[in-house]
Structure 1
Amino acid sequence: VKEITLEEIAEGRCVQILHVGPYSTEPESLAKLYALMEAEGLTFNGFHHEIYLSDPRKTPAERLRTILRQPVKEKG
Structure 2
Amino acid sequence: MDFSKVDFLSVNEGLCVQCMHIGSFDDEPDTVSAMHQFVKENGYTLDFNDHRWHHEIYLSDPRRCDVQKLKTVIRHPIRIRG
Give the letter aligned to residue 69 of structure 1: R
SS at match of 1:17: strand
1:20: which partner in 2? 22
Larger radius of gyration: 2
Give the letter aligned to residue 53 of structure 1: L
SS at match of 1:43: strand
Q: Tell me how many residue pairs correspond in the alignment.
A: 76
Q: For structure 1, which runs of at least 5 residues remain unmatched after alignment?
A: none
TM-score (norm 2): 0.83
Q: CA deviation at 1:7?
A: 2.1
> Which of 49, 60, 75 is residue 55 of structure 2 equivalent to?
49
SS at match of 1:59: coil
Structure-2 separation of matches of 1:42 and 1:66: 23
SS at match of 1:68: strand
RMSD: 1.3
Residue identity over aligned pairs, in percent, reads: 34
Give the letter aligned to residue 3 of structure 1: K
TM-score (norm 1): 0.89
**Shift >3 Å, 4+ stretches:** none
Structure-1 separation of matches of 2:53 and 2:14: 13
Q: For structure 2, which runs of at least 5 residues remain unmatched after alignment?
A: none
SS at match of 2:33: helix
Question: What do residues 12-60 of structure 1 show as CA deviations (whole Å, max 9, x unaligned)?
Answer: 1111111011111111100000000000111122322111111111101
